[in-house]
Structure 1
Amino acid sequence: MTFRLGVIGGGQLARMMVPPAIELGIDIRVLAESEGMSAAIAATGVGDYTDLETVRAFAKTVDVVTFDHEHVPQAVLRALVADGVAVHPGPDALQFAQDKLAMRERLGELGIPMPDWARVETPDELDAFLADHGGRGVVKTARGGYDGKGVRVVSAADQAEDWFAALAEDGRGGALLVEELVEFRRELAQLVARRPSGDVTLWPVVESVQKDGVCAEVIAPAPGSAGKVAEMAAHIGTTIAEELGVTGVLAVELFETTDERILVNELAMRPHNTGHWTIDGSTTSQFEQHLRAVLDLPFGATGHREPWSVMINILGGPTDGDLDTPLRQAAADQPTAKIHLYGKEPRPGRKVGHVTVSGEELDDVVFRARAAAAFFED
């Protein structure tokens, strides 16, 4: 029997699911949003993922449906489940990655450590929260934000005036999320995979470095994380995966605070940028593990192939759009670097690829990864 797996969304995450699918003999099919997307090599359809009949027709061609992103509407997801389609992760779990307010409320019920937060429906409520939290805070739209979008650091409610106006125009009684501005030492990420049968596996916690709200570098494992930090991150990740009923890969973005707490920042229920290093640096990549998880296959090992791995995102790329020349230069200069390009046209801030280097000495690995990635800078 050949497993037929359907992926909704044609971005780079779907693209990176293709190699392990081929290795495992999985018939992988992709519903892309438009022609020429990153996962075009596996795209068997192009259509609107918000349209039930489009998604329903795609689901009839596969055994299991999973996702490249978390934006498929709940109504569509629940209709698929009602049709008897195996959807992983399911809508009951995915709702907490789609709605930040719902996520904060549920994690609070579970006793998961988080920044102090509030639901605010009016500018006055936001100003009151800011006054109680040192005059500054982080405001987020409840839905749709990623890679720094839908997130603002504010010191007054009028700095989110347009978001409040949009909520009023929408007429559905929405709200914004406001959080305390956390003093953190660094950002971490814990990746977890969970099967429908309940088995859970984890990779070592990693450190991520952000640039303008976008992940720029990842160091695996996070330096100095052995012991208490790793144990806390693993406990948080496992608890969330089990209590929310996540199936597939879950990424838990974390703050390590200056007073040695570990707090949950964001959740993603899919392979995640902070796990791209696993393609080359782990025995089993997050993409292969995601396939194994959603198909309820036994998990692969998650140990490191080398003591250290460093992943650098290629953001933007050359302004002339030429990726071939820097590819040749980087490959020649850093032959141990693994270069992954996503088939995207360069543009400012866009993730067009990444570079991973693994090795024995962290300083050397960082140098070689940054050196390879530098060839793609404008």
Structure 2
Amino acid sequence: MVGGGQLARMMASPAAALGVHLRVLVESPTSSAAQVVVDAPVGAASDEAAIARLVEGADALTFEHEHVPNALLDRLEGAGVAVRPDAAALVHAQDKIVMRSRLAALGLPVPRWTALGSASDLADFLGTVGGVAVVKTARGGYDGKGVRVVRSPDEVADWLAAAADGSGAPLLAEEKVPFTRELAVLVARRPSGEARAWPVVESVQRDGVCAEVVAPAPGLHAATEAEAIDVATRIATGLGVTGVLAVELFEVEGADGGPPRVLVNELAMRPHNSGHWTIDGSVTSQFEQHLRAVLDLPLGDTSARSAWTVMANVLGSALPDPTAALGDVAVLDAGAKVHLYGKEVRAGRKLGHVNVSGEDLADVRRRAVAAAALLRGESSA
């Protein structure tokens, strides 16, 4: 696996349970994954020699992020390495223009959008979408980074200039979707074609970062649920994805009073924050399933274990070390499942998450939020 963050860290336990030897290319010897993975060589995701050493004797190569040069992956595939997902699929998670173009060609529901070559392109697009648009960098953006809501080309003049001279990423503009809430679907697919989806979840964002996930999405219309799972499965099949695919969706009002519909917002071809609830709330976690998929093993049951599971992210902390609050969390709620990532505390940084499962949604949500608050050094009240 390339990438030494929390996703690789959380892959270690299911790998051990399955008897799978996990080797992770980490950014530093103190990275989140390096603290728990025995075989963790240090190297950059762009270092071809480091990745060549990483895959020696391996059955498959996979990723915890999309920031691996596509040309490097092409060369690895040419040398016979089982790259999963492969370069042809992964590019759709690396480049939003490529992704939007391909999804539209597949007939999948996406917001109105256009690639931007100039300020006049953006001005024209603003005129067609009511005067406000979301401008995104085609590569590299995440957690609200590389995204601006604009009403004039002047608001992204710096991005447009950087894109024009090659010092910045290409840009695209999308309509600002009047969504009612954000949903997410995770589906795993293995090379043989078998695919399994987890229940559709609701993702609650704060300042462009996921703060909570509610599984399953409360009050979801059966037709909307079916459409969301169908869209995610069609994307996995249409793009030839191997492993876990996360599809972030906008729920929008249906036509003529019909059930709500969905539009595809973003893709990630790896385990995803919206699937962390599965560690404690599903028969098979997204991390175990990703390993099964990339190794072409039969996929596990994706059923929920409880009526509700809520995940609350720990975003930053007033404590020098959130583990200092573990005792307080245990006293507050013996059923709260804490997952900390071994990261140095910084404002707004994802330091961990808490999962709580149960039969009453309001109670489960209150408990998850309260436990996460203690880990942030705040009152649980």
Structure-1-length-normalised TM-score:
0.96
> For residue 190 of structure 2, what is the aligned residue in structure 1?
195
Letter in 2 for 1:352: L
- Report the 3-state secondary structure (helix = DSSP H, G, I; strand = E; otherwise coil) of the residue aligned with 1:86: coil
- TM-aligned CA deviation for residue 282 of structure 1: 0.2
> For residue 27 of structure 2, what is the aligned residue in structure 1?
33
Mapped contact 2:93–2:99 kept (Cα < 8 A): yes
> For residue 210 of structure 2, what is the aligned residue in structure 1?
215
Find out whether 1:279 has 2:274 as its counterpart: no
- Report the 3-state secondary structure (helix = DSSP H, G, I; strand = E; otherwise coil) of the residue aligned with 2:65: coil
Provide the rounded CA distance (Å) in 2 between the counterparts of 1:69 and 1:121: 28
> For residue 261 of structure 1, what is the aligned residue in structure 2?
261
Letter in 2 for 1:291: L
- Report the 3-state secondary structure (helix = DSSP H, G, I; strand = E; otherwise coil) of the residue aligned with 1:23: helix
Find out whether 1:55 has 2:64 as its counterpart: no
Q: 1:368 to 1:171 in 2, by over 3 A?
A: closer
- Report the 3-state secondary structure (helix = DSSP H, G, I; strand = E; otherwise coil) of the residue aligned with 2:62: strand
- Report the 3-state secondary structure (helix = DSSP H, G, I; strand = E; otherwise coil) of the residue aligned with 2:24: strand
Please identify which structure carries the higher strand content: 1
Provide the rounded CA distance (Å) in 1 between the counterparts of 2:72 and 2:201: 34
- Report the 3-state secondary structure (helix = DSSP H, G, I; strand = E; otherwise coil) of the residue aligned with 2:214: strand
Find out whether 1:80 has 2:79 as its counterpart: no
- Report the 3-state secondary structure (helix = DSSP H, G, I; strand = E; otherwise coil) of the residue aligned with 1:165: helix
- Report the 3-state secondary structure (helix = DSSP H, G, I; strand = E; otherwise coil) of the residue aligned with 2:271: coil
> For residue 127 of structure 1, what is the aligned residue in structure 2?
123
Mapped contact 2:117–2:164 kept (Cα < 8 A): no
> For residue 144 of structure 2, what is the aligned residue in structure 1?
148
> For residue 204 of structure 1, what is the aligned residue in structure 2?
199
Letter in 1 for 2:207: D
Give the RMSD, CA atoms, in angstroms. Answer: 1.2
Mapped contact 1:206–1:221 kept (Cα < 8 A): yes
Letter in 1 for 2:15: A
> For residue 371 of structure 1, what is the aligned residue in structure 2?
370
Provide the rounded CA distance (Å) in 2 between the counterparts of 1:273 and 1:290: 14
Letter in 1 for 2:337: K
Aligned 1:292-371 pairs, distance under 5 A: 292-318=292-318, 320-371=319-370
Provide the rounded CA distance (Å) in 2 between the counterparts of 1:114 and 1:343: 37
Structure-2-length-normalised TM-score:
0.95
Q: Deviations over 1:65-86 (max 9, x none)?
A: 0001011000111111011001
- TM-aligned CA deviation for residue 205 of structure 1: 0.3
Provide the rounded CA distance (Å) in 1 between the counterparts of 2:27 and 2:74: 20
Letter in 2 for 1:274: S
- TM-aligned CA deviation for residue 349 of structure 1: 1.3
Mapped contact 1:185–1:257 kept (Cα < 8 A): yes
Q: Deviations over 1:309-345 (max 9, x none)?
A: 0000000122x41212222211211111000000001
> For residue 257 of structure 2, what is the aligned residue in structure 1?
none
Aligned 1:92-171 pairs, distance under 5 A: 92-170=88-166
Aligned residues: percent identity?
58
- Report the 3-state secondary structure (helix = DSSP H, G, I; strand = E; otherwise coil) of the residue aligned with 1:309: strand
- Report the 3-state secondary structure (helix = DSSP H, G, I; strand = E; otherwise coil) of the residue aligned with 2:66: coil
Provide the rounded CA distance (Å) in 2 between the counterparts of 1:227 and 1:205: 11
> For residue 3 of structure 1, what is the aligned residue in structure 2?
none
Mapped contact 2:26–2:33 kept (Cα < 8 A): yes
Provide the rounded CA distance (Å) in 1 between the counterparts of 2:333 and 2:167: 55
- Report the 3-state secondary structure (helix = DSSP H, G, I; strand = E; otherwise coil) of the residue aligned with 1:373: helix
- TM-aligned CA deviation for residue 169 of structure 1: 2.6
Provide the rounded CA distance (Å) in 2 between the counterparts of 1:104 and 1:317: 36
- TM-aligned CA deviation for residue 112 of structure 1: 0.3
- TM-aligned CA deviation for residue 136 of structure 1: 0.5
Provide the rounded CA distance (Å) in 2 between the counterparts of 1:235 and 1:361: 28
Provide the rounded CA distance (Å) in 1 between the counterparts of 2:352 and 2:317: 9
- TM-aligned CA deviation for residue 44 of structure 1: 2.4
Q: Which runs of 4+ in 1 moved over 3 A?
A: none
Mapped contact 2:126–2:132 kept (Cα < 8 A): yes
- TM-aligned CA deviation for residue 150 of structure 1: 0.4
- Report the 3-state secondary structure (helix = DSSP H, G, I; strand = E; otherwise coil) of the residue aligned with 1:231: helix
Provide the rounded CA distance (Å) in 1 between the counterparts of 2:299 and 2:160: 45
Mapped contact 1:334–1:371 kept (Cα < 8 A): no
- TM-aligned CA deviation for residue 222 of structure 1: 0.3
- Report the 3-state secondary structure (helix = DSSP H, G, I; strand = E; otherwise coil) of the residue aligned with 2:145: coil
Residue in structure 2 matching 1:234, options 225, 229, 235: 229
Where does structure 2 lack aligned partners over 5 or more consecutive residues?
A: 255-259
The 10-residue stretch of structure 1 (115-124 or 245-254) with the greater mean CA deviation from structure 2: 115-124
Letter in 1 for 2:80: G
> For residue 12 of structure 1, what is the aligned residue in structure 2?
6
Provide the rounded CA distance (Å) in 1 between the counterparts of 2:375 and 2:133: 35
Mapped contact 2:275–2:286 kept (Cα < 8 A): yes
Provide the rounded CA distance (Å) in 2 between the counterparts of 1:37 and 1:175: 30
Mapped contact 2:247–2:266 kept (Cα < 8 A): yes
- Report the 3-state secondary structure (helix = DSSP H, G, I; strand = E; otherwise coil) of the residue aligned with 1:28: coil
- TM-aligned CA deviation for residue 226 of structure 1: 4.8
Mapped contact 2:323–2:375 kept (Cα < 8 A): no
The 10-residue stretch of structure 1 (163-172 or 130-139) with the greater mean CA deviation from structure 2: 163-172
Letter in 2 for 1:234: I
Where does structure 1 lack aligned partners over 5 or more consecutive residues?
A: 1-6
